[in-house]
Structure 1
Amino acid sequence: MRFRFAALGLSLSLAAIPASAASDAAQRLAHDAIIVDTHIDAPSMLLSHWDDLGVATPGKEFDYPRARQGGLDVAFMSIYTSPDEDAAGTAWQKANTQIDAVEAMVGRHPDKFAILRSPADLERLRKGGRVLLTPGMENGAPIGDDLSKLAALQARGVRYITLAHSANNRIADSSYARDKKWGGLSPFGEQVVAEMNRLGIMVDVSHISDDAVRDVLRVTDVPVIASHSGMRHFTQGFERNISDELALAVAKEGGVVQLVFGTGFVNPQAASDTQAYFIAEAAFDQENAKLAAAGKPVKSKDAFDKEWELAHPSPETHIDAVLDQIDYAVKLIGVDHVGIGSDFDGVSGHLPVELRSVADYPNLVEGLQKRGHSDADIRKILGGNLLRVWTQVEKAAKR
């Protein structure tokens, strides 16, 4: 997830955040289980400010030392492109540059990182304590209207694609768009889903509209994922989070809902502020369009964002907000259909106090243990369920 105002340099400082204080039992399970986080925004952050993530990098939420401290095994690196880049025709270039950044991390530290292209390679590649990186594309904009680009992205290691982001695109309507263009998937979007099935790229239904999710489930032949969504039950009216109805439909088809950590998804007040931001932003853009049409100077978007951020501070949120989401999802759709997609480095540090970075997965494990989840079920939530879906999608493509 990337908010425009998240790029203003207003992220919280991570330098003073202590190491996870989880129990020994939680630490052991976190390091023994396979942890798969399906949404970490490191690549786009590297383009705005380069850091060597193979060493300790306090200004970021993902780096190798803290990933090992937290027990992270597989990190889906978000290859994010914005609606503005889509409109400018630069999304394809931006996406490939971010994939290059992921490959550069591996090239610089082959003893610490490796690219994971298939679950079948996981055990071999993680030997020696490597953290495995898999590109997951956030926004289908880079393919433009050229279906053949999907195969090129698959060849570069992309293993899921979020069909749209914060605006309608050629593929699907966005959950954030006030005016939907297609009423779900576009005709081209249906072709995209079918081609992703054929290539073995997981379809990600986070960010898209409810009708688009329904269309995806009608078209797809394999299970789908929601790579980083919250449960709408806790944030009524927030279409960006998945409804009970659609979560059940995703699970019925064998898919998995990867639950997000960001405050804007798990805290009702923060979610309400997020919805209000997109409404205010749309009005601001309309006003600027009128000013431009009249030949008058337009207002500063940076100033608008800074003013909004100051007027809507992120409320302090604790890990219980994430645990409540997991408990609810497990009861609603079953433990075999729940996972995690943190959104680290994508929400400007707006995270629960106890989940500030990839070092903190043991805190989540301890919370789940205290709430009565068995270690076997926790292993499923941490990564087992996602790996099952990925394997199914891959096998179907090979057939």
Structure 2
Amino acid sequence: MKKILLSMFASWILFSCNDKEQVVDYTLLSDEERLEVAKEIAHNTIIVDGHMDLPFRMYNLGNDLNGEVFDFMTRSDEGNIDYVRAKEGGVDAPFMAIYIPASYQETGGAKGLADTLIMMVERMVDTWPDKLALAKSPEEIENNFKKGLLSLPMGIENAAAIEDDIKNVSYFYTRGIRYMTLTHGKDNLVGDSSYDDTETHGGLSEYGKEVVKEMNRLGMIIDVSHITDKTFFDVAALSEAPIVATHSSVRDFTPGFERNVSNEIIQKLAEKNGMVMITFGGSFLDQNYADANAEIRAHIQEWLKENSLNYRDEAAQEYIRNYSLDKRPVVHVSKVVDHIDHVVKLVGIDYVGLGSDFDGVGDSLPEGLKDASMYPNIIAELLKRGYSKEEIEKICYKNFFRVWKEVESIATK
């Protein structure tokens, strides 16, 4: 039976037994058999990830600034993604987050940083055109997939990048940006951030309303991760196009954590024909992990103050590693699927996807989901819970492609 199943991965559902077609029940396989099936699915299905912070990691390493191209082709022990691990995991279109820290809202230079990060992504593609390609539409991702190329679509994280000029929305769309996260860690000119208690605008600002309309006009996806609930509902009321949380998880698992999406927000996303893309950070997935993380952070901040050190000091890094060891509960990849299950039970299979936040959440990733090679573990867990091939394909890419195409369609009208 195992040999029959393993030889039928591509056709997936049906096999012959006593001249009858029968449905393969993947819940009855062993974990090892199910993982082999999952690997085959991952490599034969497009996997879109809504958010990865690789560009800012490259920027911090300084390679491109020194005229060197970041070595994306070699397997690394650093970060969460490189070409080798991406191919092993079957991820085909990880959105490159053009991340603008909130500090740039005060110092200036946000647009310049965005241009630099976009240039870094473009330089990678120019360096390895036989392996990588930009992607500005679902069709381009599909074509790249057929050619065996890894697509690198781009989205801006923090609308501070457009500064105070609405024309910059069009500028970045022309540069290849296909979604924009409206805020990040602080309120900005567009609206209020879930990480900021100031509530500068009480929701979406007047400028923010113009930004939403312009994004609709251009066909740029509105990313509602990081914004306050008030800002979200302002956006939902105004936007004619579907809206997406590209890297958020379910607030029911982390009560009071506004950065995650509430049931009411999930329902509104579905009503707008949008979606939530579940993110992988431990503090987003599990309240016990979040509590332990908060205690560790508070202790470290006090220790740094007492020792006149900052996070980047080598001595501080060593202390942080040693102190944090074994102080957090273990979170497993199954917790990601718990969040997927919650969305599916609440609003249906059509409104959920994956948005890892790889390279953006440090070492807080679940067991079995530490880097881009491990997407098959998510698929294996979905199989274990009885999800069908069609449902898994929706989670991996079809839901996001539906949203993206509708955003484009509304723009053409």
**Does the CA-based 8 Å contact 1:139-1:162 persist in structure 2?**
yes
SS of residue in 2 equivalent to 1:170: coil
- Note the alpha carbon deviations across 1:48-77, whole angstroms, 9 max, x for none: 114311222221211111111111111100
Aligned: 1:211 with 2:225: no
- Note if contact 1:238-1:275 (Cα within 8 Å) is conserved in structure 2: no
Aligned to 2:49: 37
Aligned pair 1:147/2:177, yes or no?
no
Structure 1 contact 176–278 (Cα < 8 Å) conserved? no
Q: Which structure would you say has the larger Rg? A: 2
**Distance in 1 separating the partners of 2:201 and 2:340:** 32
Does the CA contact (< 8 Å) of 2:132 and 2:151 recur in 1?
yes
Post-superposition offset of 1:333: 1.5
Give the counterpart of 2:333 among 311, 319, 336: 319
Give CA-to-partner distance per residue, 1:334-387, whole Å, 9 cap, x none. 100000000111111210110011111111000000011111101000111011
Alpha-carbon shift at residue 275 of structure 1 (Å): 6.6
Alpha-carbon separation, structure 2, partners of 1:184 and 1:115: 34
Match of 1:302 in 2: 311
Q: Is the alpha carbon distance of 1:227 and 1:274 closer, same or farther for their aligned partners in structure 2, counting shifts above 3 Å?
A: farther
Note the alpha carbon deviations across 1:81-108, whole angstroms, 9 max, x for none.
Answer: 1111121002111111110111011011
Q: CA deviation at 1:157?
A: 0.6
Query: Any gaps of 5 or more consecutive residues in structure 2?
Result: 1-31, 64-69
User: Counterpart amino acid of 2:225?
Assistant: S
- Give the distance between the partners of 1:116 and 1:303, measured in 2 at CA: 35
Q: With structure 1 as the length reference, what TM-score do the two structures score?
A: 0.86
Aligned residues: 367
Report Cα offsets for 1:3-61 as digits up to 9, x if no partner: xxxxxxxxxxxxxxxxx996221111111111000111100000111431122222121
| Aligned position for 2:284 | 265
Higher RCO (C-alpha under 8 Å, 6+ residues apart): 1
* Matched position secondary structure for 2:202: coil
Partner AA of 1:252 in structure 2: E
Q: Is the 8 A contact 2:34 2:383 kept in 1?
A: no
Aligned residue type for 1:85: Y
Q: Is structure 2 residue 351 aligned with structure 1 residue 337?
A: yes
RMSD: 2.5
Counterpart residue number, 1:133: 152
Percent of residue pairs identical: 39
Distance (Å, rounded) in 2 between the aligned partners of 1:255 and 1:108: 35
Kindly tell me: are residues 276 and 142 of structure 1, through their superposed partners in 2, closer, same or farther at Cα, counting changes over 3 Å?
farther
> What pairs with 1:179-328 in structure 2 (closer than 5 Å)?
179-272=198-291, 302=311, 310=323, 313-328=327-342
CA offset digits 1:282-304 (Å, max 9, x no partner): x99xxx9xxxxxxxxxx765389
Question: How far off its partner does 1:280 sit?
Answer: 10
Match for 1:390: what amino acid? W
SS at match of 1:75: strand
> Aligned in 2, Cα 1:144/1:314: closer, same or farther, shift over 3 Å?
farther
2:192, 2:228 within 8 Å by CA — same for their partners in 1? yes
Query: What are the superposed Cα offsets for residues 206-263 of structure 1, whole Å, 9 maximum, x if unpaired?
Result: 0100000000001100000000001000000000000001110011110010001111
What is the TM-score with the length of structure 2 in the denominator? 0.83
Residue 397 (structure 1) aligns with: 411
Contact 1:106 1:115 survives alignment (8 Å): yes
2:59 to 35, 43, 47: 47
Instruction: Supply the AA of the counterpart residue of 1:357.
Output: D
Classify 1:236/1:89 alpha carbon distance in 2 versus 1 (closer, same or farther; 3 Å): same
2-structure distance, mates of 1:332, 1:228: 18
Amino acid at match of 2:92: D
CA distance in 1, matches of 2:395, 2:104: 34
Which residue in 2 is equivalent to 1:291? none
- Once residues 93 and 201 of structure 1 are traced to their aligned partners in structure 2, the CA distance between those partners, rounded to angstroms, is 20
State the match for 1:16 in structure 2.
none
Structure 1: runs of 5+ lacking an equivalent: 1-19, 289-298
Residue 163 (structure 1) aligned with residue 172 (structure 2): no
Contact in 2 for aligned 1:111/1:128 (Cα 8 Å): no
For the residue of structure 1 that corresponds to 2:311, the secondary structure is helix
